[in-house]
């Protein structure tokens, strides 16, 4: 199917991560022009042969705003944004033991960075009005079901899924009448951020025991959903959608 993404300028944050790389490759395969953000791994992003790569610490307001300035000095517009940058603490830390610094670091890396990214794009739309535009945020099942010992991550993603997505879908249409905001919620996915899970057979067993399709997702599984939601042709009447890509995960044990 032709997704009608050829020639569209797509900004992907966190493009050096597993999902970000797969998403960039998928957009390029559709003929999109990729604008790839990274924080610390330029070589990974450059290997994806983007139209433009740009470094920014998206937790920082000035750095995030400067990213948009740099992009728009080089290309005529941005048509779609994938809000993918984020982190998760690998260690299990219950709230009773969690430090304020860990809490704030996660909130800033996941939620504040998403706010700066979405705000920058909306300001661009206000400066360059058009009919259609797309934002796809990358949430997590942790924000849907919660995740014990990772409440900081779950809280940041829940705010993104339920607060930011559902608010922005009503705001973007003031700037672009056909503008859309959607959210993809991956379950366990085989990325470098999940290596502690993938290397432990018992953890894999536990993770897949609550899903109908008993496998860990690939980054490509998530990228496919992101690209679909970004397509005006295929998902033009979808906005405010919270799309789980989880293999049918539920909040209960399906396979004891």
Question: Looking at the DSSP assignment, which residues form a beta bridge with residue 243?
Answer: 184
Helix, strand and coil in the chain, % to nearest 5? 45, 15, 35
Which residue is catalytic, options 9, 27, 153, 188?
A: 153
Q: Any idea what the Cα angle at residue 59 is, between residues 54 and 63, rounded to 5°?
A: 45
Residue 173 · residue 152 · CB < 8 Å: no
Strand locations in the chain (E): 9-12, 33-38, 52-55, 80-83, 132-138, 178-186, 242-245
Pairing mode of beta strands 178-186, 132-138: parallel
Residue 224 · residue 26 · CB < 8 Å: yes
Strand locations in 59-98 (E): 80-83
- For this structure, is 38 an active site residue? no
> Among all residues, which ones are annotated catalytic?
153
């Amino acid at each position: 199917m032709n997704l009608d993404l050829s020639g569209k300028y797509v900004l992907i944050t966190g493009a050096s991560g597993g999902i970000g790389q797969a998403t960039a490759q998928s957009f390029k395969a559709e003929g999109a022009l990729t604008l790839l953000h990274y924080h610390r791994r330029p070589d990974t992003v450059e290997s994806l042969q983007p139209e433009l790569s740009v470094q920014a610490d998206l937790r920082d307001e000035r750095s995030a705003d400067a990213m948009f300035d740099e992009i728009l000095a080089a290309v005529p517009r941005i048509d779609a944004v994938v809000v993918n940058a984020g982190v998760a603490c690998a260690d299990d830390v219950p709230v009773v033991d969690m430090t304020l610094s860990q809490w704030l670091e996660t909130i800033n890396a996941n939620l504040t960075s998403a706010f700066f990214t979405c705000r920058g794009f909306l300001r661009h739309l206000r400066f360059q009005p058009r009919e259609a535009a797309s934002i796809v945020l990358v949430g997590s099942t942790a924000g849907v079901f919660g995740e014990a010992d990772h409440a900081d991550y779950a809280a940041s993603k829940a705010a993104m899924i339920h607060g930011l997505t559902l608010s922005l879908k009503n705001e973007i249409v003031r700037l672009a009448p056909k503008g859309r905001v959607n959210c993809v919620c991956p379950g366990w996915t085989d990325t470098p951020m999940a290596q502690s899970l993938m290397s432990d057979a018992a953890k894999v067993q536990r993770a897949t025991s609550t899903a109908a399709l008993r496998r860990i997702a690939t980054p490509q599984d998530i990228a496919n959903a992101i690209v679909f939601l970004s397509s005006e042709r295929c998902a033009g009447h979808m906005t405010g959608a919270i799309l789980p890509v989880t293999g049918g995960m539920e909040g209960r044990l399906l396979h004891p």
